[in-house]
Structure 1
């Protein structure tokens, strides 16, 4: 069997080795990948009772979120582990959680 994983551009990351940046109290970002076109992937860790400061506007492009663990709330409803959210460009929400959560976040347009 031939494998293609060693081709140029093939990248992998271990979330535990990713640098940690605190965005707001109790909300940490771990960048995993950034493409040449500005696309990026990251893990967002939110402690219980944490809330984004202000409104998170999706600009210039959409945001895609997969709830890995816990329960994420966008300011309007809860999304339990296993939920997928596609937020189109120009949309907004106020990320928060009562229980704590871990999110995989992908920005296809940067």
Structure 2
């Protein structure tokens, strides 16, 4: 590996196990990984088996992009296994849940 590549300005990294954990709802935890000055941000969301969002998750003001890292994620309508990518446009909504438990990578390109 070339050291000059690693030293590029603005290049950052985060190790998920070192990211602070915030419980959003019982059995649902958020680990922030990165935030840009523009408000764009990336997180890992962990959902225990049998958990669900208590209300609609509305994507406002911008879209949400989800990659299912492990387990099976349900958006309130169907199941998505590990390896699935989802793009939810601004203004859309879903009710996240999981019967098996899941880990998601979440990216919000807009604030």
Deviation of the 1:64 alpha carbon = 0.1
Q: Give the structure 2 partner of residue 11 of structure 1.
A: 12
TM-score (norm 1): 0.97
| Aligned: 1:82 with 2:83 | yes
| Aligned: 1:100 with 2:105 | no
Q: Give the structure 2 partner of residue 42 of structure 1.
A: 43
Q: Give the structure 2 partner of residue 67 of structure 1.
A: 68
TM-score (norm 2): 0.96
Q: Which runs of 5+ in 1 are unaligned?
A: none
Deviation by residue 1:30-87 (Cα, 9 ceiling, x = unmatched): 0000011000000000000000110000001000000000000000000000000000
Instruction: Supply the RMSD in Å over aligned alpha carbons.
Output: 1.0
Q: Secondary structure at the match of 1:16?
A: helix
Deviation of the 1:7 alpha carbon = 1.5
Q: Secondary structure at the match of 1:4?
A: helix
Q: Secondary structure at the match of 1:69?
A: strand
Deviation by residue 1:11-48 (Cα, 9 ceiling, x = unmatched): 00000000000000000000000011000000000000
Q: Which runs of 5+ in 2 are unaligned?
A: none
